[in-house]
Structures are given as C-alpha cells and as structure tokens.
Amino acid sequence: MRTGIGFGGGALALPLMLFILPNPIILLPIIAWHFMFFSILTLFTHKGGVDWRYLFYSQLFIAIPALLGIFGLINLSPKILTIIVYIITLTYGISYLFRLKLAGGNKVSDAFLLIVGGYVSGTSMTGAPVLAAVYSRNIALDKLRNTLFVSFLMIVMVKMITFKLSGVEMQIRYALLLLPIAAIGHITGHYVHDWIIKNDADVFMRFIGLALTVITVLGLFRILML
C-alpha cells in the first residue's frame, strides 16, 4: 500500500495493518523505512522540482506540532494511539465518501491546517491528506508531489531518530521482507496517481472513502471491545 494513489499511503495502510497488530509503535517504523526508500527513489527518478520557498515557509507551522506529535507517539499507550489513528482515518473516509473539502484558501486557515497536519503526521504518519490539501492550493502542480515528499521525509527522519534514541525496535528485518510487496504498491500507486491527475476520480475517491469508513468503524469496535 506504500504511496498508494501517489501520496498518503500511510493513511491507507496503517488502519489495515492495525487489524493484524493493534500497536502503531511497532508498525510505524516499517512504514517509515518504506516511505524513506520510495520517496527518495521517486525524487531521483521522476520529473518535477521542489518549491523550496513554500516548503521552508510551511515548516514554520509544521515542525513544532510534528515534534509534539512524535512525543505523544512515544508516550501514549498502544490502545490510545490505535483509537487516535482510527478516528483520524474515519474523518478522511467520511470526507472522501461525501467529497467534502477542507476549508481553507487564506493564510490563517492554511496555517491552522498545517499545524493540524504536522501534529497528526508526528503522531501517526497519517497527516499527508491534510498537508496535501494546503500544499495543492499554494504550489504549482508540477512541483506538488515532490515538495510533499520532501516535507514528509523531514518529519519521518526526525521520527526515526526519535525512535532510535527512545529504544524503539526499528523493525529493519520486517521492512526488508515486506519491501517487494511495498514495491508493487509503489509502482501501482504512480499509475493510479497519474490517472487521478488526468481523469475525474470522483467514483474512485468515494470507493476509497467507503472502504476506509468500513475498516475504521470495524477497527474502532474491535479495539474498544479489547
């Protein structure tokens, strides 16, 4: 599922993985390794520049909330973290299903969404859809994906350093074992991303929204019953 639909694969993959193992602190290092590998690969192999000016501007609002989110990730219980991930994903699912758009368009609302996206990214690596909504309004399309990759790569690298310093198991073995499967999702994701850019993806996004909603409702019921 890594980089499914081009960007934001963590928001799709993590809820499914939590069905198998309801502990984000174990699963996130695997997702992070895959993201770092494939995002760097994408930056070097696909055309499109990076909007460095907006990237650095956005970090003024993203960096500190992301650090606070990482701190919460290290200290909260697995059950609480899993519930947080499911609630965030349920919000995405409902918004995709009913094609709701995040409010924004001015500096104040965009700054607020960047803060929220930064915190969510630090906590669970599922903040990409929020960041993408803001970036898409402020960055040229040909630079959008690469700028998002660099922004999220910065968060993930800080998170991985924090994991290491905190004694979290880095899950390198499982990341390597799952790399070929992630590669299938990565390659497929590029084609799906290009198709979405060129076509009306309304039905596709509604399907994703329905799937996420069903998965998260079942996941919430299951974790609350534990």
What integer pLDDT is reported at residue 168 of this predicted model?
92
Question: pLDDT: is 41 or 3 the higher one?
Answer: 41
Residues sharing a CB contact under 8 Å with residue 212, sequence separation 6 or more, in sequence order: 12, 15, 89, 90, 92, 93, 96
CA distance 82 to 97: 22
Question: pLDDT: is 1 or 95 the higher one?
Answer: 95
Reduced to 3 states (helix: H, G, I; strand: E, B; else coil), residue 104 is coil
Tokens of 90: 């349920």
Q: Is position 170 within any domain?
A: yes
**What backbone torsions phi and psi does residue 172 show, to the nearest 5 degrees?**
-65, -40
Average pLDDT over residues 32-48: 83
Q: Is the model's pLDDT at 181 over the cut of 90? A: no
Which amino acid does the sequence have at 126? T
What integer pLDDT is reported at residue 5 of this predicted model?
42
Whether 97 and 114 have beta carbons less than 8 Å apart is answered as no
Q: Is position 3 within any domain?
A: no
Question: What residues make up the domain containing 102?
Answer: 9-225
**Mean pLDDT, all residues of the chain:** 85
Q: Is the model's pLDDT at 46 over the cut of 80? A: no
Q: Is position 4 within any domain?
A: no
CA distance 141 to 93: 24
Average pLDDT over residues 153-163: 93
Question: pLDDT: is 131 or 198 the higher one?
Answer: 131
Q: Which of 222, 225, 188, 218 is nearest to 38 (CA)?
A: 188
CA distance 196 to 192: 6
Q: Is position 1 within any domain?
A: no
**3-class secondary structure per residue, 31-100:** HHHHHHHHHHHHHHHCCCCCCHHHHHHHHHHHHHHHHHHHHHHHHCCHHHHHHHHHHHHHHHHHHHHCCC
Average pLDDT over residues 193-220: 80
Q: What is the tally of structural domains in the chain?
A: 1
pLDDT band at 177 (very low <50, low <70, confident <90, very high): very high
CA distance 114 to 123: 14
Q: Is position 168 within any domain?
A: yes
- pTM, full prediction: 0.86
Reduced to 3 states (helix: H, G, I; strand: E, B; else coil), residue 179 is helix
What integer pLDDT is reported at residue 4 of this predicted model?
38
pLDDT band at 128 (very low <50, low <70, confident <90, very high): confident
Q: Is the model's pLDDT at 9 over the cut of 50? A: yes
Q: Is position 115 within any domain?
A: yes
Q: Is position 59 within any domain?
A: yes
Q: Is position 201 within any domain?
A: yes
